[in-house]
Every structure is written in C-alpha cells, then in structure tokens.
Structure 1
Amino acid sequence: MRLPLAYTPPDLQESDPGPVRRRHVFFVPGYDPEARTRYRLLFVRELMRHAKRFGEGRRTVSAAALSPDGLVQGWNVAAHPPSGGAATRYEVLLWDDIVARDYARSRVLSVALLVVGTLHALAWGALWRFYRYNHRYGNVILYPFAMVVALTLVSVLIGTMVHAHLGDWFGYSLGLPAWASLPLGVAAGLVWLVGIEAFLNRLFFWQLLNTWVFNWQHGQLWRPDFEARVDAFADHVIAEIAGLQGEAPDEVMIVGHSVGALAAVELAARVLARAPALWEGRTRLSLVTLGSALPLVAVQPLARRLRAEIASLVTARRLVWCDFQTMQDWMNFPGFNPVLDLKLGLGARAVANPVVRSTQLKQVVEPETYAKILYRPFRLHFQCLLANERPGDYDFFRLTLGPQHLRDRALTPIVGPEPVAAAPEPRGG
C-alpha cells in the first residue's frame, strides 16, 4: 500500500477556463439490488443536510423520473448563485435488475461459485495482491469463504448428532435404522441453515458473497449481461449529450462508487472512444471514482479489455479522471494506482490520468462520528456519498454541484464555510 494518497500525473489536462454553470452528472451505483430506491432518497436527504450545515439554503430538486427502458432515473438540481452552484442534471444509471437476478439464483449455485472463485484467486495469487493493496479488503473477500467452511462444519456436526441420537450410536437412541436416521440428520443440518438466514443477512454474508462472485465472473469474461448494460449506458450518455446541441453543459461528469467505479471506468472509456468529437468543444468530460473496487477485476489475467480501457483513459488528455480513496475504508484500495500497479503497456505514451486524492475522512466528519463508523464497514464505505460535517477538500456536493471543474476541484479546491452553529434548544420554564 503506497502512501500518501496523492498522485498528480505529469501530463494532466490544462486548467479549465471559467466556472461550471451547467453540469450533467451520470452516477453509477455499486453492486446494490435496491439502487432505484436508495440513491434518490440518499441524494435528497444528504443535500438538505449539506445546505443546513453550511448555511447555503435549500436548492430546488425536481421530482425523479424513470426512463421508458427503466435504465435511468434522473432529476434536475437548480443553480445556486450565492455559492456559485451549477445547474445540474443528475442521472442514476441503473443495473440493480442484474444484481437482483444474482440474488435470486440458487443458494447452492452461489456458494459453489464462491468456492470456485476463491480457490481460483488463491491459486494464481490474486488474493495475495488484494491483501497487499488493502489487508482489510482481503479479509472482506475471504470472509464469505470462511463462513461457508464454518457453516458446513456446524451443519455436519448438527446432522451427525441428530443421526447418532436417532440411530444406534453411543448407547442412547430411539432405535431408528440408519436408512431413516441419516436422512433426518441431513435434513436437520439444512433446516438449521435456513433458520439462520436472517442472521446471515445481518452479517452481510450474502451481499459480500454475491459481490465477490460478480467481480470474479466479470474478470473471467462471464458477465455478458453487465457488458451489454455498460454499452447501453454509453449509448445513452452519447445520445443525451449530443441531443443538447447548443445547450451543452460545461462539464459532463461520470461518477462511480464501489463496484460502480469499475462500470464508470468502462463507461468513460467507451464514451470517449465512440464519440471523441463530443469533447472537442467547451464541454469537458470528467470521471470520478469513489471507494473503487477496480483491482478486483483489473488484475485478473483474462481482463485484457478492461486493462486496455484503463490504458486509454490513463493517456487521454480529453478527460480528467480523479480517484478519491479513503484510508480507513475496508472496501477500497487506498494507495492503488493503475499506472504503478497494473501492466498497461503504455510504452512512451505520456501519463495524463488519474489524479489520486484522499477523502480525508478524519477532517470532514466530527470525532464522535469517526469513532462510531470506524468499525462499521458499509457505513464507512458510503461516507464519500454523504454530506460533510466539517469543510474539507473532499466534498461530494461541492464536487458534483459546485462551480469548479473536476481538475481544479482536485488540485486547488475551494473549501466551503464552517458549519453553521445549531440553534440552542429551548429551555422549559
């Protein structure tokens, strides 16, 4: 793991002229079966908290609308002249139906895929690389596999005890023959697993299992459904921006969180390759990756297309890519840099991306909040999408709704005001 979390590429694009007045944000959520309900509510709630904490006043947010094909959920955020905030079109690119299908498949198949994928990663050394990048993420990946082993052993123990006490073992039995007691023992082991389903969900067992299986499958080129969805997203982005014509925004920003950061990288590469003319005028293309899980797929030997897409972005001067990392986040890879950690075959091509920056978690939340979330991996993982409690270089809403282009936000951020002091509670008489 490389420290500190700061890297500025030598051939970074020149500074963008003037403030952003109009922006179009395409947000790609992570591996989440509830994306179409979660991210709209999260955005509105946290924007209200941001405005209240920093005294900016509320910004008008339109109702959300779902596209006819069900792939895009979008809304508009009005400009905010007092803070220089840009008028923003915000669209969530949905792939939660793909995730939901993964969740709906047979539990036995999911476990089998987990076991095969984990053993495969162990065999060719990927897991050791994940541990080197972030040992906590290595533990997150191994956790479902370790749980499968533990649950299997406990189930076998329960089944053996039931079989023993119903059969002829240990001098204590109901005298059932083995052909009857053995199936009952197996059934008891399976019933126990079904009975703790809710408990396993509280431990995020199935979520982490399915997430790892997805990333492993994607690296093995076994996810044509996901590839097709990214292609559909690229078609949508190109059509949306091309259709604006004279009303083109100053900045088009593609934002990806967690596994969605992987999709955002693929999306940005395809948009740039398919429609290079869109970015020859004043509209700037920006890519933001937050809490990225990119190495989970990028290091896999068969993921050649992904590495080629990453290489195209690394050397692209028509795009600014900023990767925000959190040292304390269990589910990202702080210090990972594709230029340094992947064999991209750049040759003599100049490196223009990515800018790597820290979210500076300790600086943007109160000490009490920091202590509460430090050992809550999922809450910690989502902090980069939430409103700051204190001003800092990283601020999700100043990043996506503010007046600075991404390059300037990453290099010379305008830090907002101190939080407004809360009014004292009225005292009873």
Structure 2
Amino acid sequence: MIARRHVFHIGGYDPISPAQQVSRLARSLSVFQRTWGVRAGIVSAIDATPVSASWIVEASGPNWSTRTSYEMLRWDDLILEDHARGMWSRLWRSFVTLVDFIVTGTLFRFMYANWKYAGFFLFPYLCVAGFIGCGVAAGYGLVRLTGVSGFPAGVLGAATAVGVGAGLLRLLGSRRPINHVFDDWIFSREFVYGRRPRMDARIDRFAERILDRVRNADVDEVVIIGHCLGAALVMDAVARALKRDPELAGRGRSLCILTVGSTIAKFSLHPRGEHIRQAAQAVAGEMRIPWTEYHARDDAISFYRFDPVMLKRVSRERSGGRPDIRRVQLHDMMDRASFRRHRFNFMLLHYKFLMGNSVRANYDYCLIICGPLPFEEITSPRGGVDRFGEDGALLQRASSGTAAAASRSADAAVAGVA
C-alpha cells in the first residue's frame, strides 16, 4: 500500500497557472470524495518557481491514508508568449505549418493514425476558409448593391473580403480555440525542427527535477503524468534523465509513467521528429519503469488505438507491452446527463482524463494520484473498482454488495471497448 507519493504533471499546450491548476484539482478532489466515499483535499500553499509549482494533497479512507506531493512542471510562460503574437504573424506561420505538414506527408500519416486527430489539425484552417468565404460573399454582395464595375469593383470586393474575414477572425479567434490551435501547431512545427531553444532548455530543467526527486524524495513511488502534448515532453524529459543516470529506475523508488490523451505521435510521425521517436524508444526500453497509456474513443484530440512507440494502429487493449495500452470509455466516467450535455465539447472531453469521475470506473485520475494502490495495480485493466467499499475502505477482494456491483459495471465497461 502506498502511503507517500510524488506526482509530476506535465500539461499540454495550455497556459494554465499554478493557481488555476490548484483550483481544477480541488474541484476534482471534491467529486472524487463523493464518488469513492473518501476524504481528500489540498493541505498546503503553492510553492512556485518559474520551472515548477508544488503542493500537498492528502487523502484517506477508514483503513488507509496517503500524502501526495503534486508538482506541476511549468511552461505556461512560453505558451503565453506565443499567444501574444499578432494576427498576421499567426496566419503566416500557420500557413507555413500547413504547407510543411502536407509536403512532408505528416498530415496524411495523421489521417492513417486517427482521422479525428487529422480533423483537429484542419479545424482552424477550415474556420479561416469559412471566414474568407463569408468575406467573398459580402464583397460580391456589396459590389452588386453599389453597381460598380471594372477595376473599382475588384478593389471594393477584395477590400470587403479581407476586412470581413479579418474581422471575423479577430472576433472569434480568441472566443473559439482557433488562435490557440494555430499557436499549438506553430509550436509543434518549430519544436520538431529544433527552433525552440528556450523550450529545449526548459525540458532540461524538467529532467533535473525528475532526477532530484527520484534520488532524494522520501516517497514510495514517483509518478510522472503527461497529458496531450505533455506526453511527448514526458518522453523527452525522462529520456534525458535516463541518459544522465542510466540507473535512475533502480534508485529504490518505483518510477512510473502515465500518459493520457497522448499526442506523442504528432511529433513522431513527422520526418524531423527523430528525437521524440528516440526518446519514446528509450523510455520503452527501460523495462524497470512501468508505463501505462490510456486511450478513449470519444477523445478526438489524441491518437486513439495508436501505439506511440511502434507507430502502428492497435486493435485492442494490450498488457505487457511498452507501453501498456488501456482503452476506456469517457461516458463510463460521467453520469449520463453530463455526457449528453458535453458530447460535442471536444476540449472538455479531452481534459476528462485529468478530472474526478462522477461514476466509479476502471480509470480515475484522482485515485491514481492520491489513492493507496501501487501504480501497476491501479492502472491494471480493472483499476480500483473491486478494491473500495462504499465507505472508501480498501478491500482485500471484491466480496459483496457494492464491490460486486462495481465489478459487474467494470466488466461491462471493458466489454464496451473491446
């Protein structure tokens, strides 16, 4: 049973501050308490630096208690700098990115790997195309309305088209995730080409933090969690840590990796993504580090049923591989009304992997980060559904009542993804 744990969290392309992360986690822990009948909460202030921010989470049931040091490895400042760029600079760099991903064949590899993710890539470009279409229609209508012809008609139509298209982008670009997704793809292209030296230096700092905690933290296990693009950064940081200390995994503490909503393949499928491919292979090659990756069909912003190391589609769950691949259903982690309400809120569903579940399921983020079960047990196909009673007590086995009902529910969930 785990009593002390250190969790590293590397988020995706999301400029969330430590205070916002604490607020999100506090809400998740509140849901976690109701769902599992436990007590859980954040019990310390934030200890923040430009590279990381940490705080303490305590959780307990009638016969167990844990203390988790939760450390967020930060790069929100670099994302905010990207968001500050001007509209025309963003559009130009986005166009260069689109051409690059087409010419290198990366977009077509996305289509093979997961057509939904290819749609996510194309989403902002289709929005801009729609804005331009509205501008052209408005220009044509204005020319017809004014009755001008010849060169003045061309100038009026073009000016109207540009003005309307730019106005719509300025109005909706920030309200919808258009600008955000453009910046994400601009970053991805620049990073894969090695043109983000400050990000490269930041990953070195992440590796240093991981090395320090594994060597010195007085804990039972260290869990490194990567979400979305952060999963690729986890690969990079851990590979660098292993290069500096090849015996890192044998330092007496269980070092584990969890990747969720992963987009490692967004770099690995690019011809210039060799360093991420090598990093994932290095992590996979260290057999002493358990690595589990969760996939969900309803998460469109990830590579569902795609092996991030072999870069091949997988047909089912896999245990004993590198990584272990678990398939879960997001609607089994939410009440039905909530899932129906957010069915097409792709961003929210993508972040569901980092939220507390309103229903007991074989994947639960809070149970992984602050529950008493070791990583390899809590990330097994059945997770923790058989191991907790209604009052949050840790059970030795599913014996009766609620535990058996939870077991049947988990069986149905597993069958639903098979």
TM-score under structure 1 length normalisation: 0.81
Q: Does residue 1:199 correspond to 2:172, yes or no?
A: yes
- For residues 79 and 330 of structure 1, the distance between their equivalents in structure 2, rounded to whole angstroms, comes to 32
Residue 31 of structure 1 corresponds to 13
Q: 2:310 aligns to what?
A: 340
Q: Indicate the percent of aligned positions where both proteins have the same amino acid.
A: 25
Q: 1:231 is aligned with what amino acid?
A: D
In the alignment, is the contact (CA less than 8 A) between 1:253 and 1:287 conserved in 2? Answer: yes
Deviation digits for residues 266-316 of structure 1, max 9, x if unmatched?
112222222334432320111111101111111111111111111111111
1:45 maps to which of 15, 27, 52: 27
Q: Secondary structure at the match of 1:338?
A: coil
Q: Which residue of 2 aligns with 1:271?
A: 241
Residue ranges of structure 2 left out of the alignment (5+ in a row): 314-319, 393-401, 403-418
Distance in 2, Cα, partners of 1:257 & 1:206: 20
Aligned-partner SS, 1:341? coil
Q: Which has the higher contact order (CA 8 A, sep 6+)?
A: 1
Q: Secondary structure at the match of 2:356?
A: coil
What's the counterpart of residue 313 of structure 1? 283
The CA distance in 2 between the partners of 1:369 and 1:23, in whole Å, is 32
Are residues 1:238 and 2:211 paired?
Answer: yes
The question of 1:186 aligning with 2:168 is answered no
Equivalent of 1:400 in 358, 365, 369: 369
Q: Name 2:38's counterpart in structure 1.
A: 56
Q: CA deviation at 1:31?
A: 0.5
Greater shift after overlay, 253-262 or 106-115? 106-115
Indicate the residue corresponding to 1:123 in structure 2.
103
In the aligned structure 2, how far is the partner of 1:162 from the partner of 1:105? Answer: 32
Cα deviation for residue 220 of structure 1 reads 2.3
Paired with 1:370 and 1:130, the residues of 2 have a C-alpha distance of 27
- Whether the 8 Å contact between 2:117 and 2:301 is mirrored in structure 1 is yes
Change in 2 beyond 3 A, CA 1:44/1:234: same
Q: Residues 417 and 267 from structure 1, CA distance in 2 versus in 1: closer, same or farther, beyond 3 angstroms?
A: farther
Distance in 1 separating the partners of 2:355 and 2:65: 18
> How many angstroms apart in 2 are the aligned matches of 1:225 and 1:164?
52
Give me the whole-angstrom Cα distance separating, in 2, the residues matched to 1:419 and 1:388: 17
Q: Tell me, yes or no, if the aligned pair for 2:12 and 2:228 is still in contact at 8 Å.
A: yes
Q: Are residues 1:378 and 2:333 paired? A: no
> Does the 8 Å contact 2:135/2:164 carry over to 1?
no
Cα offset for 1:223? Answer: 2.0
| Partner residue, 1:425 | none
State the alpha-carbon separation in 2 of the partners of residues 182 and 59 from structure 1: 62
Structure 1 gaps of 5+ residues are 1-18, 171-176, 344-350, 422-429
CA RMSD between the two structures = 2.8
Partner of 1:8: none
Structure 2 match to 1:7: none
Q: Alpha carbons of 1:34 and 1:162: their partners in 2 closer, same or farther (altered >3 Å)?
A: farther
Shift of 1:337: 0.6
Partner Cα separation in structure 1 for residue 178 and residue 63 of structure 2: 43
After superposition, the Cα gap between the structure-2 partners of 1:167 and 1:375, relative to the gap in structure 1 and judged at 3 Å, is same
The residue matched to 1:20 in structure 2 has which SS?
coil
C-alpha distance in 1, partners of 2:172/2:89? 20
Per-residue deviation, 1:154:
3.3
Q: 2 CA distance for matches of 1:35 and 1:288?
A: 22
Residues 38 and 207 (structure 1), Cα distance of their counterparts in 2 relative to 1, 3 Å cut: same
Deviation of the 1:185 alpha carbon: 6.2
Correspondent of 1:330 among 283, 294, 300 = 300
Deviation at 1:25, TM superposition (A): 0.4
Q: How many residues align?
A: 384
Q: How far did 1:73 drift?
A: 1.3
The answer (yes or no) to whether the contact 1:29–1:259 under 8 Å persists in 2 is yes
